[in-house]
């Protein structure tokens, strides 16, 4: 009887050991999958087309796509860096701007994006883009930013009556929405977000780090 009990206990210990080994193997597989998921590059959800706002060389082998919000302080902080990069790399890199207004956080971001789109209908997108970032603190908290946007339109030489119509148009709204949805499809949840060669990158810490990334891409 004692012998049988010892045999039973031994078999149970083997079973428990086997179960522990199996559990460890399964845990390792799950952990490996999770780890690999974290390292999978996040791709750009929609290709660059002529409908995108572009600066630089359209034939360039390297492309940077920025998803941005005109009312986002971090986006405004990156704007001078991008201006410098465009000046230095504009003949070798294509820079693309897409709207991603954070509607829940920034009350006037969508209206600003539509104002820039309206300016673009008169071939002055980048001029409006620059003013909006430079004066972000002026219009960001206004209850109604439209009169301010209209004054910017006057300053950059737009037909203001047409600008007012275009900024409220379906075309402007649809363009902003198309950019926004393509950002959501790429898993974007904040701004600015950059894609280099179609793959999301961590935001560089400054001009030198961003330039180094471009140099690496150009060297490939």
pLDDT tens per residue across span 140-176: 999 999 999 999 999 999 999 999 999 999 999 999 9
Spatial strand order in the sheet of 53-56: 53-56, 93-99, 62-68, 193-196, 199-201
Dist CA 125 CA 128 (whole Å): 5
Identify the band that residue 42 occupies on the pLDDT scale cut at 50, 70 and 90: confident
d(CA 66, CA 200): 10
What's the number of CA atoms in the CB half-sphere (13 Å) around residue 1? 0
Q: Is the Cβ–Cβ distance between 176 and 88 less than 8 Å?
A: no
Cβ atoms within 10 A of the Cβ of 146, count?
A: 16
Report the CATH architecture of 53-219. 3-Layer(aba) Sandwich (3.40)
Token code pair at residue 214: 């471009």
pLDDT score recorded for residue 45: 86
Mean pLDDT within 55-76: 97
- Kindly indicate the confidence band of residue 110, based on its pLDDT and cuts at 50, 70 and 90: very high
Instruction: Identify the DSSP state of 43.
Output: B
Domain ranges in the chain are 1-40, 53-219
Distance CA 128, CA 121 (A): 11
Six token digits for residue 213: 């990334």
CA-to-CA separations, 211 to 74, 84, 103, in angstroms, rounded: 18, 10, 31
Q: What is the pLDDT of residues 119-148, one digit of tens each?
A: 999 999 999 999 999 999 999 999 999 999
Whole-angstrom Cα distance, residue 55 to residue 205?
22
Q: What is the pTM of this model?
A: 0.81
């Amino acid at each position: 009887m004692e012998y049988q009990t010892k045999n039973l206990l031994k078999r149970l210990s083997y079973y428990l050991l086997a179960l522990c080994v199996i559990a460890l193997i399964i845990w390792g597989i799950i952990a490996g999958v999770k780890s690999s998921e974290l390292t999978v590059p996040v791709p750009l959800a929609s290709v660059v087309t002529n409908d995108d706002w572009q600066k630089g060389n359209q034939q360039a082998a390297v492309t940077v796509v920025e998803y941005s919000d005109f009312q986002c302080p971090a986006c405004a902080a990156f704007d001078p860096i991008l201006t410098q990069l465009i000046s230095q790399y504009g003949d070798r890199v294509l820079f693309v701007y897409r709207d991603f207004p954070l509607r829940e956080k920034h009350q006037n971001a969508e209206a600003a994006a539509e104002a820039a789109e309206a300016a673009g209908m008169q071939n002055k997108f980048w001029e409006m883009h620059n003013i909006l970032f430079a004066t972000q603190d002026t219009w960001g908290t206004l209850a109604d930013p439209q009169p301010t946007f209209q004054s910017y339109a006057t300053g950059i030489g737009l037909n203001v009556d047409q600008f007012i119509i275009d900024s409220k148009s379906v075309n402007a709204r649809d363009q902003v929405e198309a950019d926004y949805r393509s950002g959501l499809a790429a898993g974007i949840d904040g701004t600015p977000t950059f894609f280099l060669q179609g793959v999301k990158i961590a935001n560089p810490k400054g001009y030198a780090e961003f330039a180094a990334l471009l140099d690496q891409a150009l060297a490939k």
